Structure 1
């Protein structure tokens, strides 16, 4: 599954009200426990208030830290990801496992009756004698009178003896359907379980759900699916765990004027549905063995375009089908490339990709039927931006990579979700590079993935890549940057230290050995180790598991501190976990201190070897090592982590830092590779942020940017500058900071200009966009003037919905700047364009820009409209609205107050689909750096702790980040203000 860069934790556990029993009875014992729970809640709340209120009035917030270390809340670390409920085992018993499914579904998708009727036959294998068949079912009404179980004879292909059922019950906490039998189901035999059910086509973008769009002034309805991770059970009773693979034969009834599609090709002609003369049955071929979360089916009136051989199709609304051509161009090419890369043919006879008007994630890798948010699959030449085009290529490449890594071989349990998402998030770059080599995406990986995830992984409340999860809330909250970005980064590191030859062959061996099965990370480590031994890349005493367990089973990552001895040409390297706690970490020999196997690479001023990324030395989970005879003079700089292939930061002694800074300020600063220049900026400013490097040195590193024109170093700089801007924007001396950044931008602004030139390389385009955004945001006169003029020209253009004179790549900066500098007239004009456009990427740009206004009432109205039915803003886009408002210095407190004050309304609007709420919390709390905001957040979290669901970890991370921000202001504001004073005089 792909998540948007802006949407970092995709897919929540969802429930709807459909099919719930109305009313309940409570025993005396239950009354007693409810009373006891109420009293305990009062005590806990009192303790929370007692602890939180006074600690925020101190100069530091150390008392809050003490509270979080000794909290009465479940994990002992404050707002943990574990729901406040008794820990229950949500895994299915393994006495009965599925062999194959036959599924019939009739969705009624006309307005006012969004139900579906279904029947399923599940052929099961019995592995242990049992009197229970336990499977998953949620939010549906089972026809208990119809349920039956029969013994099955594989030889005769018939059902024989009827098994008597004595009880059917729902275990709602586990989302189990338990069928008890009087006859024992015997080990080694097969049985046919048959059920009928009615479900509800919800509008929470989960399970089997409904979506709609407008065409010819009519509402057109769609029935579609999103099952990952635990929502197939909302569409049909099933064994909804990834390891329980089975074959599926799917039958979908649809209105005659619509079409259906599923994972496999259609088989035979449509057949009438008895009693429903407007409906016909579509029957699909039996699938290969696959997990339930990969099953998919859609009923729509979409158009389709196909590749020349007819095996690859793209589907979209009639009015948007022209925007699917780019996906159709690159999709088959990437699929063919992956067949060569993995040395395994695509296992299915066809591939369909569908652009949906409403979709919670970026996309979903359903086998043979990939579903996308429109902005992730559709691209309109002349309207969409270069960034939109790369986004489409990225998501298509990601989902196609999953067809092997995730679909053919599936993690045995969600603990190893990262095996799916980390690999796809790395290999997607390799796939794009095969079809768009001029984009240099393998270089972009460093700033978009590795450096991007460092910020989250530097929090104590981060989590290991491989993490034990059970409850659906826990499963869904690990669809985050750790699983995706960190997973991809350590896989890239492994590709480099094993060599690509060993890496690729090891993957192929693993996929062949585990095809149509499930696996754990140790299975992959074994395959890679055997190939590494064969090619003599690893010593016989070392395994990939020994190395990689330190990266997957531990939280965080190391900073390697290099201290040179300039007399004997040696260097001492030490490692410790890097944390954003402002230098409070200590190097210790405690067994609790995490240590990693770190591949060490380096080059120097005279060597300038930025091509060799194989380890020159390993830090074998040890605190320190000494490198003797570096082969460089004491007057040369040395630089570690070549091409930033290792997942770690590097700090140096002051002398080496000064030599690097001197090199950067020379005319030949490009002797240091582009990636490593980006690394130096990102490392220096974040080491200073954490208190591991003085800010004077870190800011000295940035001074060379006055001569830099390449994308990667500037992207790294803007990410770090963004944090400084958030912290300093309300403080004394902010004018000096803005002046300094504008001074750095002066040369590169002249180089890129305010004209979107045809034929510019992708990275030049991206540099221009970033530079213009920052220049306009800081009031650069030429930038602001150009933006306002271009927007006004558009406003006065006849028929502005058709004729937009603004170059696509400049739209973002033009829209935002003009709306920020203008008032209601500009805002309303942009809103009307948002309502009118048919291009998803254009809607995205306008949604982002509408949050740029400085009119507070407009921002409040915008947030209101975001959670108002039929306002024109789709549920999938609500978190983008909050993110846009919160990124505005005027809007951040508005968004923060809004989500706290309108919490009940938000929950009612999204139901139990906490996906958007989680992302709203993330965006609305960004940049908190005052004690009073933190106090408000803590009070909110305390009051609603049982309602937070997957947002619990987000709250915990936000609180930790806010505490670090408060310390940062106390420790660094004066130092930075003085440095800026000296360097802008």
Structure 2
């Protein structure tokens, strides 16, 4: 502001001088300065007009959105780059001292007004090179520096020579505790580092933290852990990087009326704690070598159920323990299945699974002690939905897969996080299918994982699967769909092009060779290459590294364009990176990427939708030619059979028309269900990116009037969801709703508004989606049924115990009744939320409460979400913001709330930004005006030093918003015209 005041003072002075009637008295110097000043003003004025003035072009379809958006996205990129550059300092530990064994002793004080813990740790370390420095991690704890000692280690005697300590210091920025010694720690020797400390049982759901629940209005407290990726350092000083594997001897002191559990079984009987007669020590067996982020311990008053073999146990609140029986039923079977799949026995003597009242993520794969939020582990028959049951099965399978892929063999650094999460995200489907084969989950992978991640990976601000990270904020940034879903998708692609037999054997070799050690992706590539060559699954001279580096080290994915030569029967295939900004001026920081793409295809004459091994490879080539497709000029061809490859496919106009013709025939099912879903998803997204005209893409979807299968409809609902969010405030929206209801008419009649326990899983899922859309678009029968069922529940005696609504219909009934109702319906559902004992039911109600169209209720709901003791747990705030943001009325309210209450949100969630990152994602998803984008950019610029792990998410949100703006500008008129032509 100072500079502006100076300019105003200059203007006042010049006005006074020029206002004199007796002539000009300005000097040459003054004239020069005045000229410069006016030039600056002109440039500034031009800048403001260019970026913020309304468009003056007479053509109403041409606007200044493009120029404004280009400016915004450029600023966003500059903002992101500067934020990342700030984090590039070296945050890695030196390798001169390596841990071998930890002896950890912790005494948590779990009562109001205290919430601290006393700790002591002895670390036997190996010195690899002479040093006078021991550097480890410690944060948010007070270390008793007067107690700290370093001694030579001897198994024979404790009377070893102490090493004099010169100084100790905390490097707060890097979360280091540095111990400098006067004597040299000699390479090849072992030493014992001994520290005492006091920590804090925080309520940010990270490190060693506190959680609570109520029984008859009495609060019960527990102490639990969440260390991934970098929070073991909040529980005890340690070498908190995944490559620093060591053994652990854990001792936990607990009140006599509580129990404790850790990674390993308890050793012997509990022993009294000196000076604390109401406490007992639980000492645990020494663990196998593992990374710090996998260490876990819990002190609670939970109940326990166990398998017949007594080596598999589930834990939960006494009031919820019966809800863990499904988990106990499938857990041992999935564990046994993975032992057979990997051909490696589970290496620990027991497995515990614990449902926690407060947990930030869905679950955590701590070795031998997996922790869950209640809704992902507990299932109540007659209350929870089929979707809830599937969610429990997939999370259990995911975490059990980690016991091998991630725990037994661990990435050397977080750059290869995807090796953990990508593999577990794929293996969860395999494990689930082993125990619930009737669910057909392997088919669902395409719509739930592969197509789901395409949208994020089509942004320029996406990132490679394997990405360099250093700062903890950067590590947290990559716990996203790229690491999980894209990682899973390219692993599935390998499974198909290598064949499952070769793929599995290669995995077994990799896990056996690297057991209890660390690895990088190249280690996996080497193991798979050797097995592929041995089994003749890959031609000599070609390596998995050669193929897969193009998928893991490059950002994005390709679209393969198929141009048929109908006279000769040949086709030319061309690849390029697919981005949502296609059709606009794009500048990449590097040359256009190319991928090794496995090419599979079938045709109308072949109808072979089972052959998923590649017929051809695009070997990082821009173009290849297939000389004979085996199809006549009047027959369609479809590429990427069962969508096993991680790429989109575009066709020439004639082939699209042949496909559309087939889809509109009675035998449209000749095209495999997965590929029908692929055609819908590809067509709508190719049009969204400007690579296919919308009339063709929408013609592809018209056949849905006859479709009843889940996968194509799921793909369609995602595409229609984008239309819905973009067009909801635009003229002609009624045409879109009318067209959607027309498409839904047949499938609505097929699935009906009645749930049946005998229906296949996919029928149930189809019904839920169809009813949600039909009711949302005002389908009379749907709305009438939903409102009637909700009112019936309201008048039922003791509604907490007697809910007449079928579990699978709850989501549509709750949301619809609350949307068309008012405060009475909302308050009733809120009360049910407060009183239910079932976590999955709480989730359903939290989502439904965001459906109201009453703005004041939504604002109050947002405020309650970040208010202590409101009834909404911190773990559930993301769900609340997401529910409100999916509401046309609620999205701008949620966006403005997060912007205007940033300081409050940061204080409420503390150092953990996981929830904030998810809030950013949900509240910005629907932005499609330059003014909202400008608001977001201003927020990002103002708070760029506070965003932490939300930095990349904010950048992606700005790019997505810019793409939305361009999409409306480019496509709204064409879509409206098509809807007018095709809606009676």
Is the alpha carbon distance of 1:586 and 1:102 closer, same or farther for their aligned partners in structure 2, counting shifts above 3 Å?
A: closer
Q: Give the corresponding residue for 1:326.
A: 326
Distance (Å, rounded) in 2 between the aligned partners of 1:134 and 1:207:
20
Q: Deviations over 1:722-781 (max 9, x none)?
A: 000011111111111000000000000000000001110000000000000000000000
- 1:230 and 2:227 correspond: no
Distance (Å, rounded) in 1 between the aligned partners of 2:402 and 2:68:
43
Distance (Å, rounded) in 1 between the aligned partners of 2:822 and 2:242:
52
Q: Give the corresponding residue for 1:6.
A: none
Work out whether residues 423 and 487 of structure 1, in 8 Å CA contact, stay in contact via their aligned partners in 2: yes
Matches within 5 A, 1:393-408: 393-408=393-408
Q: Deviations over 1:630-673 (max 9, x none)?
A: 22111110000000000000000000000000000000000000
Matches within 5 A, 1:704-853: 704-853=703-852
Distance (Å, rounded) in 2 between the aligned partners of 1:362 and 1:147:
38
Runs of at least 5 residues in structure 1 that lack an aligned partner in the other structure: 1-42
Is the alpha carbon distance of 1:662 and 1:925 closer, same or farther for their aligned partners in structure 2, counting shifts above 3 Å?
A: same
Work out whether residues 525 and 544 of structure 1, in 8 Å CA contact, stay in contact via their aligned partners in 2: yes
Q: Give the corresponding residue for 2:24.
A: none
Matches within 5 A, 1:411-490: 411-490=411-490
Matches within 5 A, 1:361-760: 361-584=361-584, 592-760=591-759
Q: Give the corresponding residue for 2:195.
A: 195
Work out whether residues 56 and 935 of structure 1, in 8 Å CA contact, stay in contact via their aligned partners in 2: no
Distance (Å, rounded) in 2 between the aligned partners of 1:945 and 1:518:
35
Distance (Å, rounded) in 2 between the aligned partners of 1:51 and 1:480:
37
Distance (Å, rounded) in 1 between the aligned partners of 2:212 and 2:159:
42
Q: Deviations over 1:106-136 (max 9, x none)?
A: 0000111000000000000000000001110
Question: SS of the counterpart of 2:102?
Answer: strand
Question: SS of the counterpart of 2:592?
Answer: coil
Q: What's the offset of the Cα at 1:85? A: 3.1
Work out whether residues 52 and 64 of structure 1, in 8 Å CA contact, stay in contact via their aligned partners in 2: no
Work out whether residues 201 and 210 of structure 2, in 8 Å CA contact, stay in contact via their aligned partners in 1: yes
Q: Give the corresponding residue for 1:90.
A: 91
Distance (Å, rounded) in 1 between the aligned partners of 2:290 and 2:487:
23
Q: Deviations over 1:427-471 (max 9, x none)?
A: 010000000000000000000000000000000000000000000
Is the alpha carbon distance of 1:53 and 1:332 closer, same or farther for their aligned partners in structure 2, counting shifts above 3 Å?
A: farther
Distance (Å, rounded) in 1 between the aligned partners of 2:46 and 2:800:
54
Work out whether residues 79 and 944 of structure 2, in 8 Å CA contact, stay in contact via their aligned partners in 1: no
Q: Give the corresponding residue for 2:60.
A: none
Distance (Å, rounded) in 2 between the aligned partners of 1:567 and 1:475:
54
With 374-383 and 912-921 compared, the bigger mean Cα shift is at 912-921
Is the alpha carbon distance of 1:584 and 1:374 closer, same or farther for their aligned partners in structure 2, counting shifts above 3 Å?
A: same
Q: Deviations over 1:854-908 (max 9, x none)?
A: 1111001100110111000000001110111110001111111111111111112
Work out whether residues 152 and 159 of structure 1, in 8 Å CA contact, stay in contact via their aligned partners in 2: no
Q: What's the offset of the Cα at 1:576? A: 0.5
Q: Give the corresponding residue for 2:12.
A: none
Work out whether residues 73 and 962 of structure 2, in 8 Å CA contact, stay in contact via their aligned partners in 1: no
Question: SS of the counterpart of 1:160?
Answer: coil
Work out whether residues 66 and 966 of structure 2, in 8 Å CA contact, stay in contact via their aligned partners in 1: no
Q: Give the corresponding residue for 2:885.
A: 886
Work out whether residues 705 and 745 of structure 2, in 8 Å CA contact, stay in contact via their aligned partners in 1: yes
Is the alpha carbon distance of 1:610 and 1:345 closer, same or farther for their aligned partners in structure 2, counting shifts above 3 Å?
A: same
Is the alpha carbon distance of 1:663 and 1:586 closer, same or farther for their aligned partners in structure 2, counting shifts above 3 Å?
A: farther
Work out whether residues 603 and 630 of structure 2, in 8 Å CA contact, stay in contact via their aligned partners in 1: no
- 1:295 and 2:292 correspond: no
Work out whether residues 383 and 842 of structure 1, in 8 Å CA contact, stay in contact via their aligned partners in 2: yes
Q: Deviations over 1:297-337 (max 9, x none)?
A: 00000000000010000000000000000000000000000
Q: Give the corresponding residue for 1:29.
A: none
Work out whether residues 641 and 650 of structure 1, in 8 Å CA contact, stay in contact via their aligned partners in 2: yes
Q: What's the offset of the Cα at 1:158? A: 4.1
Distance (Å, rounded) in 1 between the aligned partners of 2:45 and 2:659:
49
Is the alpha carbon distance of 1:56 and 1:80 closer, same or farther for their aligned partners in structure 2, counting shifts above 3 Å?
A: farther
Distance (Å, rounded) in 2 between the aligned partners of 1:408 and 1:619:
35
Q: What's the offset of the Cα at 1:56? A: 7.7
Work out whether residues 55 and 63 of structure 1, in 8 Å CA contact, stay in contact via their aligned partners in 2: no
Q: What's the offset of the Cα at 1:940? A: 1.1
Question: SS of the counterpart of 1:134?
Answer: strand
Work out whether residues 579 and 585 of structure 1, in 8 Å CA contact, stay in contact via their aligned partners in 2: no
Pairwise CA RMSD: 1.8
Q: What's the offset of the Cα at 1:65? A: 5.5
Work out whether residues 493 and 647 of structure 1, in 8 Å CA contact, stay in contact via their aligned partners in 2: yes
Q: Give the corresponding residue for 2:126.
A: 125
Distance (Å, rounded) in 1 between the aligned partners of 2:662 and 2:725:
30
Q: Deviations over 1:43-66 (max 9, x none)?
A: 9xx999968982585524444565
Question: SS of the counterpart of 2:352?
Answer: strand
Question: SS of the counterpart of 1:946?
Answer: coil
Q: Give the corresponding residue for 1:54.
A: 51
Q: Give the corresponding residue for 1:351.
A: 351
Matches within 5 A, 1:56-205: 57=54, 59-64=63-68, 66-67=70-71, 71=75, 77-80=78-81, 82-83=83-84, 85=86, 87-154=88-155, 156=156, 158=158, 160-205=160-205
Distance (Å, rounded) in 1 between the aligned partners of 2:48 and 2:177:
44
- 1:865 and 2:885 correspond: no
Q: Give the corresponding residue for 1:981.
A: 980
Q: Give the corresponding residue for 1:27.
A: none
Distance (Å, rounded) in 2 between the aligned partners of 1:416 and 1:336:
27
Work out whether residues 73 and 959 of structure 2, in 8 Å CA contact, stay in contact via their aligned partners in 1: no
Is the alpha carbon distance of 1:941 and 1:70 closer, same or farther for their aligned partners in structure 2, counting shifts above 3 Å?
A: closer
Q: What's the offset of the Cα at 1:971? A: 0.8
Q: What's the offset of the Cα at 1:591? A: 7.3
Question: SS of the counterpart of 2:451?
Answer: helix
Distance (Å, rounded) in 1 between the aligned partners of 2:337 and 2:514:
21
Q: Deviations over 1:56-106 (max 9, x none)?
A: 8552444456546765x8xx5433494563631010000000000000000
Runs of at least 5 residues in structure 2 that lack an aligned partner in the other structure: 1-39, 56-62
Is the alpha carbon distance of 1:167 and 1:48 closer, same or farther for their aligned partners in structure 2, counting shifts above 3 Å?
A: farther
Question: SS of the counterpart of 1:213?
Answer: strand
Is the alpha carbon distance of 1:655 and 1:871 closer, same or farther for their aligned partners in structure 2, counting shifts above 3 Å?
A: same
Q: Give the corresponding residue for 1:896.
A: 895
Q: What's the offset of the Cα at 1:218? A: 0.7
Distance (Å, rounded) in 1 between the aligned partners of 2:545 and 2:786:
54
Q: What's the offset of the Cα at 1:153? A: 2.2
Work out whether residues 132 and 180 of structure 1, in 8 Å CA contact, stay in contact via their aligned partners in 2: yes
Is the alpha carbon distance of 1:585 and 1:753 closer, same or farther for their aligned partners in structure 2, counting shifts above 3 Å?
A: farther
Number of aligned residue pairs: give it: 936
Q: Give the corresponding residue for 2:16.
A: none
